[in-house]
Amino acid sequence: MTYGTLHRSARCAVDTAIVYDGWVIPAGTAVSISSHCLHTDASVFSQPHLFQPERWLEGCTREMHLSLRPWSAGSRDCPGQRLAKGAIVKILAEMFGPNMPCMAPFATTVSDVMPKFDYLVPMRKFNSHGLRVKIV
Ligand code: HEM
């Protein structure tokens, strides 16, 4: 369990200069950002590493919505996002449905789920078993 993607997504206006916030970005210049940087920007998300889903219910800001880009954005964003979201909803419904047993974290620390390496998909540290749970 970790970020979907970590790497920087580059975009390039091949033959047009772009003016952004007073800066001129010359034609042919690659500009990039990673969703990890956006999602952990503490000026937008308070305590960004804290699992706090209720942040989307109370005190939710426009900046938070604009900064949530797990699928990238624009014409080259992820074409598989609806399929992926459908799968995520199905998995969560199966895992936490009424007839499923309760799970509690087992021998797992933050360092077991934090991305350590970027192999296009983020990887945790090598000597970790990742997120483990026990059925209670
Ligand atoms: C949780 C699951 C997924 C995440 C987080 C994810 C995320 C992303 C992101 C961030 C990009 C943009 C990369 C960039 O700008 O360089 C991307 C592109 C892409 N994704 Fe996904 N994706 C997911 C699932 C899928 C699935 C299920 C499919 C196909 C069935 C898919 C197909 C693609 C393709 C073909 C592109 C390239 C689009 C292009 O370059 O125009 N993805 N994805």
At 2 the pLDDT is 66
CA angle 54, 65, 52 (to 5 degrees): 20
Cα(106) to ligand 1 centroid in Å equals 31
Tens digit of each residue's pLDDT (9 = 90 or more) over 11-39: 999 999 999 999 999 999 999 988 889 99
- Whole-structure pTM value: 0.86
Nearest atom within ligand 1 for CA of residue 11? 15
Best mutation site among 78, 83, 85 for ligand 1, i.e. most ligand atoms within 8 A of its Cβ?
78
Mean model confidence pLDDT for the chain: 92
| 58: three-class secondary structure by DSSP | coil
pLDDT of 17: 97
- Indicate the pLDDT class of residue 4, thresholds 50, 70 and 90: confident
Provide the residue type at 56 as one letter: W
* Per-residue confidence band for 8, with pLDDT thresholds at 50, 70 and 90: confident
Residue 122 reports pLDDT greater than 80: yes
Q: How far apart are CA 41 and CA 21, in angstroms?
A: 19
Q: Is the CB of 74 under 6 A from ligand 1?
A: no
